[in-house]
């Protein structure tokens, strides 16, 4: 019988994006070191929960947000941060719960893909909405909607991967 993966939840309260990002980075680095040092042990996966001060974050698909765009958004009273996650621009602010899973996906099943992971995140949001009596759905686009309103955006920044049973000829 194999052990089920454990995910430790850390509630960070209300933080500026830069401070929360620092905690994300430290947590991810600790998990990476653990994986390298002890390849066969159960991982300490973490879910960080935070409420941000007003901030617009831009992912790697930024579509060229200009310094003028950035200045206009900052004038609204929000910070503006370019990130390494997937996706476009997202607003985070007071009253909004943001979840940052820092996971070793191999803890859950070595054969799972990033697409599987994103679908699991979407399913978790849909199930959470249902728990509160809200009917949420997914579409072909990444995220979760209630009617025409997007209730959850999902952006990922995978930092490590490995290949098994692949010949060297595929890598140059």
Residue 107 is predicted with a pLDDT of: 79
CB 129 within 8 A of CB 51: no
Q: How high is the pLDDT of residue 25?
A: 92
Tell me what pLDDT residue 171 has.
Answer: 47
pLDDT along the chain (172 residues), means of 10: 79 97 93 80 86 91 78 93 80 93 81 84 96 96 93 77 52 46
pTM score of the predicted model: 0.80
pLDDT value of position 108: 76
pLDDT value at residue 3: 67
């Amino acid at each position: 019988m194999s052990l089920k993966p454990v995910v430790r939840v850390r509630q960070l309260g209300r933080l500026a994006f830069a401070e929360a990002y620092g905690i994300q980075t430290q947590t991810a680095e600790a998990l990476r070191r653990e994986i390298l040092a002890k390849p066969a042990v159960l991982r300490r996966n973490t879910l960080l929960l935070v409420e941000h001060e007003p901030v617009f974050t831009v992912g790697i698909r930024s579509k060229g947000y200009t310094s003028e765009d950035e200045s206009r958004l900052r004038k609204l009273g929000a910070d503006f941060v370019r990130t390494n996650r997937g996706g476009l621009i997202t607003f985070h602010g007071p009253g909004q719960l943001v979840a940052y899973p820092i996971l070793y996906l191999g803890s859950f099943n070595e054969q799972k893909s990033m697409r599987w992971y994103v679908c699991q995140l979407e399913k978790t949001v849909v199930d959470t909405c249902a728990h509160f009596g809200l009917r949420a759905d997914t579409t072909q686009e990444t995220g979760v909607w209630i009617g025409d309103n997007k209730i959850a955006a999902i952006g990922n920044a995978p930092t490590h991967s490995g290949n098994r049973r692949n010949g060297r000829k595929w890598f140059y």
